[in-house]
Structure formats: structure tokens, C-alpha cells
Amino acid sequence: MELDTGTLIKFSAYLGSGIAIGFGAVGAAIGIGYTAGRANEAISSRPEKSPELFKLMLIGQAITESSAIFALVVSLLLLFMNFPEAGILKAPALLGAGISIGFGAFGSGIGSGFPAAEACIGSARQPEASNAILINMLIGSAVSQTPAIFALVVSFMLMFIDFTAPVSPTWAALIGAGVSTGLAAIGSGIGSGMAAGGSCEGISRQPQSVGQVTTAMLVGQAVSQTPSIFGLLVSFILIFKAFPESSSLSAAMALLSAGISMGFGGIGPGIGNGLTAESAVKWIARNLDITADLMRTMLVGQAVAQSTAIYAMVVSLVLIFVV
């Protein structure tokens, strides 16, 4: 079997396509199923509200589904696009594109399921606050999708930029770029969703707390997003930095490892920050008098949890610029 440039590009495109929708569909399916399960619970407690709760479930599921749609778009592009004039670097770029959106959509799919599920339960618990809960769910779910959007941006860049740099070590940088944003987006997507889910629950228990709870949710989600932003930054460096030609395998592995370091290093802090924010918004709703204390505790706790993502980013930058 002859592995010419065209064959390698097709091989990478097909592999990337499978990774994109394969992993991307997992997260959305979990989030959608979790929403439906909680909707059943809500309807069983408030049968007279079944039509409203059913509509709310579908709205939440539609937002959760969007991460899988992002992955599907990339998957189809990788399947059917032709790259007749592309160089050999298009092969690792297309593989990196599939990795980026596959993992990136995974986290956002799961994360978006949390606010949708808690909105169903909350609306059953407090029907008069349904509109406030719906608005909060829509905002929280939208923010939870941003890591998948980061991953989608990186995927498009890898697919549509014409790379003309030296093949080695650039091939490793392009795959590393997909790994960095894709994996880091998992933690941020899940963590942001946890914060939004806690916010919906808090509002349902104390409707008059909607202003303070929504503010705390957005602040907590913003911090939870930072690991995916670190991952995006490392991806941009790996994509746009010009690396001198090198036949050394260690040079290539340094760039690939930079993506791995930031990618895996961003998962834990994203989820950890979400756990902190989820708890904060729930207790702010129950005790508005100590909102400032709870916000301070949340931010300090998130900052400490975030330090591990910073460690991973430092190692990534050392691997890119020093090693």
C-alpha cells in the first residue's frame, strides 16, 4: 500500500471525523438523558404542570444538543471536503481538528444538561418562578457551550489554514493544538454547567434571590472557563508560532506534550471551579445576608483550584519555548 500525501490526508480526515462525532455525541447524549430523567421526576411531583415541564425539557435538550451539532458539522466537513493542493501538514491538522471538537463537545454536552435538568425540577418546585428559572437556564447553558465553541474555532483553523512550515516538528504542534483546547474544554464545560445547575436550584428555593444568584453564577462560570482559555492560548501558540525545522523526535514530542500538558491539566481545575461555584450559588440563595462572604470564599477557593491549571500552562510554555 502506497502512502502518498493524498492518502495520508484522507486517512487523517476520516480518523478525525470519527473522533469528532464519536466523542462529541457522548457528552450531549448524557446531558440530554439526564435532563429527561429529571423532567420525569418533576412531572411526577407536579402532574398538572406536565405540558410546561415537557416544553422546558425540550428547550434544555435543544441547547444541550448543540455541542453534538458542532461536532457533526466538523465530522461531515472532514468526510466530504477535498484538499487537492494541500501539503503533508494538512494530515496532522485534520486529525487535530477532529480531536479538538470531539473532546470539546464532550464536556459542554454534559455541562449543559445540569441547568436544563435542575430547571425542570425547580419549575416543578416553584411554578411561579418558572420564567426566572428559564432565563437563568438559558444564560447558564449558553455559557456552558462556550468551551465547545472554543474547540470549534480551533477545529476550523486547523482545517482551513494552509500550513507551509517545516513538516517536523510542525506536525506535532498541530496535533497538540487540537489536544490542548479539546481536553481543557472538558473541565470548563462540565464545571460551568454545574454552576448553572446550582443556580437554577437556588432560584427555585428562593425566587427573590435571582439577581444575586445569577451574578454569582456568571462570576463562578467565568472563573471555570479560564482553563479552557488557557488551552485555547496554548493552541494558538502551537498553530501560529514558526518552529525551525528539526529531524529530532524530541523536538516534536516537546510540542505534542505541550498540548497534552495543558489539555489534561485543564480538566480538573475546570470541574473543581464548577463544584465551588455550584455550592456558592445554592447557599447564597438560602442566605442572602452573607452573599459577600460566600462570594469571597468562592473566588479564593477557585483561585487555589486554578493554580494547578497554571502549573500545566507553565510546563506547556516551557516545552514550547525552552526545550
pTM attached to this predicted model: 0.95
- pLDDT (tens digit per residue) in 156-170: 999 999 998 999 999
- pLDDT (tens digit per residue) in 42-65: 999 999 999 999 999 999 999 999
* C-alpha triplet 296, 266, 72: angle, nearest 5°: 120
5 pLDDT exceeds 80? yes
Measure Cα distances from 240 to 200, 207, 235, 285 in Å: 40, 48, 9, 45
Residue 323 confidence (pLDDT): 65
DSSP code at position 48: G
Q: Distance (Å, rounded) from C-alpha 46 to C-alpha 30?
A: 24
- pLDDT (tens digit per residue) in 260-316: 999 999 999 999 999 999 999 999 999 999 999 999 999 999 999 999 999 999 999
1 pLDDT exceeds 80? no
Domain ranges for the chain: 5-321
- Under a CB-based contact definition with an 8 Å cutoff, are residues 289 and 300 in contact? no
The C-alpha cell that represents 261 in the structure block:
500538558
User: Going by C-beta distance under 8 Å and a sequence separation of 6 or more, which residues neighbour residue 308?
Assistant: 265, 268, 269
Quickly tell me which residue has 439526564 as its cell.
34
- Under a CB-based contact definition with an 8 Å cutoff, are residues 94 and 12 in contact? yes
Q: Residues 119-129: what's their mean pLDDT?
A: 96
- Under a CB-based contact definition with an 8 Å cutoff, are residues 89 and 166 in contact? no
Measure Cα distances from 295 to 12, 301, 306 in Å: 46, 10, 16
110 pLDDT exceeds 60? yes
2 pLDDT exceeds 60? no
Residue 85 confidence (pLDDT): 79
Q: Distance (Å, rounded) from C-alpha 149 to C-alpha 282?
A: 27
In CATH terms, the superfamily for domain 5-321 is: lithium bound rotor ring of v- atpase (1.20.120.610)
DSSP per residue, 103-131: HHHHHHHHHHHHHHHHHHHHHHH-GGGHH
